[in-house]
Structure 1
Amino acid sequence: MTVHDTPLDRSAATVSRRPAARIVLRRLIQGPIVLLTVSAAVFWLVQVVPGDPGRVALGQYATNEQVAQWNSDNGIDGPVAGRYLRWLGRFVTGDWGVSATYDEPVRTLIAQRLPNSIFLGVYAFVLTALFGIAIGLYQGFRAGRRGDRALTISLVSLSSTPEFAVGTVLLLILSVFLGWFPVHAAIPDHASIPARLTATTVPALTLAAASVGYVARMVRAGTLETLRSPFYRTAVLKGLAPRRIITAHVLRNSLIPSVAVLGGQVAYLVGGSAVVETLFSYPGAGLAIVEATQDKDLILLEGLIMVTAAASLLVLLITDLIYITLDPRIDLTQEQRS
C-alpha cells in the first residue's frame, strides 16, 4: 500500500473504481465462507459446555423422556455433524428456530437485542472518533513536549486496562458518587433518544476507553507525517488560513492511516461488547450471547453469532471503501496479494 505525500487530484478518483469493485466482489465471495466457518466452529465448541438444552428449556422436574423428545423436536439430538447440517438448512431458509431460554423465536429476540447493541456501538464509535482524533492532532502538533508524553503514557495505560475495571471505576465516579448517570443501563422499549443517550453514556465511555489510544496514536503519526511533508510547508508559505490547512491537509491526510483502525474498532464495538453489556446489564446482543452460552441455548447463540459476524464483515467492507475514497490511489487489492 502506498500513500503519496502530494495533494489528491480528481483524475485519481477514476482509478479507484476498479479496486473498489474488486474489493466488493472479493468480500461477497469471502463473506459466506467466513460465516460458514464461524458457525461450524461455534456449533462444535458449544458441545463442550456442560448442560442439556432440553433440560434448560423444560426445567429440573421434567422427565428424561420429555427432555429427549424436546431435543428431538428441536433438532439437537444425534451426531454433531448431522445436527449442524439440519440447523444450517433451516437457517438459510429463514427458519432460525426458537430459543430454549426465552421460548421465543430467535429472529424476534435478535430484532429486539441487536438494535440496542448497534446504538451502543455507534455511540461509543462517535466518542472514540471525537476524542481519538482531537487528542491525536494535539499530540501531533506538540510532539515531544510534556503534554504529548503525558498523554501517550495515559492512553497506553488506559488501553491496557481491562474493560470491567474501567467500567467499574467510571460507574463508581459518574453514577454512584456524582449521580450524573443511572447505575443500570436498562432502557425502556420506547425510550427517547436523550433517555437512551443518558442510559448508555457510561457503557459507551467504557467501550471507547479501550479504543481511543489506538486511534490517537494513528492520528498522531499521520499528523507528524503531514507536518513534515513538502505540500504542508508550501501551504504555510502561501499564507493559507490555519483552519483551512488543518482541515484540507493535516486532518484528511492524518485520517488515512486511521481509517483501518476505526473500522476495526467499529466491528469490535458492534459485535464484541459482551463484557460491557454484562457489567451494566445492558439489553444488547452481547449480553444475550453470554446468557445463551451459559444456558447452552445453541439455537439462539448460533443466530446471534451469525448476525453479529455478518455485521462485522459489512463494517469492514465499508471501511475499505472509505479508505479508497480518502485516497483513490490506494489499492487494497495490491496490498492483499503482497
Structure 2
Amino acid sequence: MTFLKMFGTRLLSIIPTLILASLIVFMLQRLIPGDPANAIAGEYATPERLAEIRGELGIDKPLWLQYLSWIGNALTGNLGVSFMTGQSVTSLIAERLPVTILLTTFGLIVGVVIGLPTGVYAASRAGGRLDRILTSAATLGLALPNFWVGMILILVFSITLGWLPGPGGPLFSSDPLGSIQSMLLPAVALGLVGGAEICRQVRSAMIEDLGSDHVRTLRAKGLPGMQVLWHHALKNSSLPFLTIVGLQISRLLSASVVVETVFGLSGLGTLIVTATNQREYMVVQGVVLVMAVLVVFTNFIVDMLYRVLDPRIK
C-alpha cells in the first residue's frame, strides 16, 4: 500500500469518529441542567415569551431534527449565534482559538524540554541515585494539579519577583508579542505535568532498548556512550515518545480550560466556562466540537508519523 493510498484510507476512517464525537457533544450539552430560554428572558418571563425564545433557538424541535440542523450548518462553518452577544460562534472561536493553540504549543514545548532529557539521563543511570531523584521528581510532578502550580508561579514570579506579567493578557490578534509574554507562566504550569509523564515513558522505553543486543553490539564496537544513548537508543525509542507526545496534546487541550481560567487568558477555556454558566448551547457545542476535531486530527497526524518513522507498520 502506497503512502498516499494509506493516507486517504486513514483520512476517510476518521469521518465516523467525527460523527460520533459531534453526536456525543450534542447530547451531553442537552444534559446540562437549566433552560437557556430562562437565562435569556429572566426569572419572571411569561410562558409565551419562553416559548417564543425556544422557537428562535430551535430547541422546541425534536432532538434528531436539532442535531441534523446543527451538524448541517456546522459543515458550512455556521456554528450558530451567541444569544448573549449576538456574535457568531464561529467568529468567537476564531478570536479565541489562537490563544489556546499557542498555550498548548508552548506547554508541549515545556513538557518535551523537561521530560526528554531527564528521561534519557534517568535511563542511562537506571537504579542509581540520579535515576531515583529524577523518577521521584517525575512522580511528584504527576501529582501536582495544574491550577495549584499556576497559582504558585503567579505568587513567585509575578507578585513577589515581578519578572513576568500576572493573570490576564491581550488577544493574539491585537497584540501578538504581549499575548506570547503573558503565556510563559501558564505554559510552564501546563507543561510540568506533561514533562513528568514524558520523563517516565522515555525512561521506560530507553531502559528496555539499552538492554538489547544491538546496543551491546554498538558498545562492543567502541562507539562513544553518548552517541549510543542519544543517536541510536533514543531513535529506537521514538515511537513510544511520539505516542506520549500525541496523548499529551490531547491532555493539554483539556487542561488548558483550567489554566486559562487561573491566568485569565482569553482562550477557548474561559469562553466555554462563561458559555456554560450562561447556558449558551451553541457556544459550548461549537467550542467542544472544535476541540474534538483538533484531538482527532492530532491523533491522525501521529498515526501517519508512525508510518513515516517505521515503514513496517501497516
Q: So what's the TM-score if we normalise by structure 1?
A: 0.84
Aligned pairs for 1:99-110 within 5 A: 99-110=82-93
The whole-number CA distance in structure 2 between the counterparts of 1:153 and 1:24 is 44
Matching residue of 2:174: 190
Distance, in Å, in 1 between the alignment partners of 2:254 and 2:146 is 15
1-side partners of 2:299 and 2:31: how far apart? Answer: 31
Which consecutive unaligned segments of at least 5 residues does structure 2 have? Answer: none
Change (3 A) 1:244 1:147: closer
Q: Which residue of 2 aligns with 1:9?
A: none
Q: Does 1:208 align with 2:191?
A: yes
1:273 is paired with a residue whose SS is helix
1:263 is matched with which residue: 243, 246, 269?
246
1:288 pairs with 2:271: yes
Per chain length, whose mean CA-contact separation is higher, i.e. which structure has more relative contact order (CA < 8 Å, sep 6+)?
A: 1
Amino acid at match of 2:12: L
- Corresponding position of 1:88: 71
Whole-angstrom distance in 2 between the partners of 1:89 and 1:115: 25
Q: Which residue of 2 aligns with 1:304?
A: 287
- What is the match of residue 160 of structure 2? 177
Q: What does 1:13-52 correspond to in 2, within 5 Å?
A: 18=2, 21-22=5-6, 25-29=9-13, 31-52=14-35
Does the 8 Å CA contact 2:39/2:278 hold for their aligned counterparts? yes
- Pairwise mapping of residues 1-338 of structure 1 onto structure 2 (< 5 A)? 18=2, 21-22=5-6, 25-29=9-13, 31-58=14-41, 64-188=47-171, 189-193=173-177, 195-331=178-314
Provide the C-alpha distance between the structure 2 equivalents of 1:244 and 1:146, rounded to a whole number of angstroms. 23
Of 307-316 and 91-100, more deviation after overlay is shown by: 91-100
CA shift, 1:236, in A, is 2.9
The number of residues matched between the two structures is 313
Amino acid at match of 1:191: D
| 1:243 CA displacement | 4.9
The 2-side partners of 1:112 and 1:219 are apart by 36
Change (3 A) 1:147 1:102: farther
Q: Counterpart amino acid of 1:302?
A: Q
**Contact 1:46-1:293 within 8 A present in 2 as well:** no
Q: 1:174 to 1:272 in 2, by over 3 A?
A: same
After TM superposition, give the deviation of residue 319 of structure 1 in Å: 0.8
Q: 1:200-239, CA deviations, whole angstroms, 9 ceiling, x for partnerless residues? A: 1111111112211221112112222232223323333333
In structure 2, do the counterparts of structure 1 residues 20 and 235 end up closer, same or farther at CA, with 3 Å as the change threshold?
farther
- The residue identity in structure 2 corresponding to 1:283 is S
How far 1:271 moved relative to its partner? 4.5
- Gapped regions of structure 1 (runs ≥ 5): 1-16, 332-338
1:112 CA displacement: 0.7
Structure-2-length-normalised TM-score: 0.89
Q: CA separation in 2, counterparts of 1:21 and 1:125?
A: 31
Partners of 2:176 and 2:196 lie apart in 1 by 31
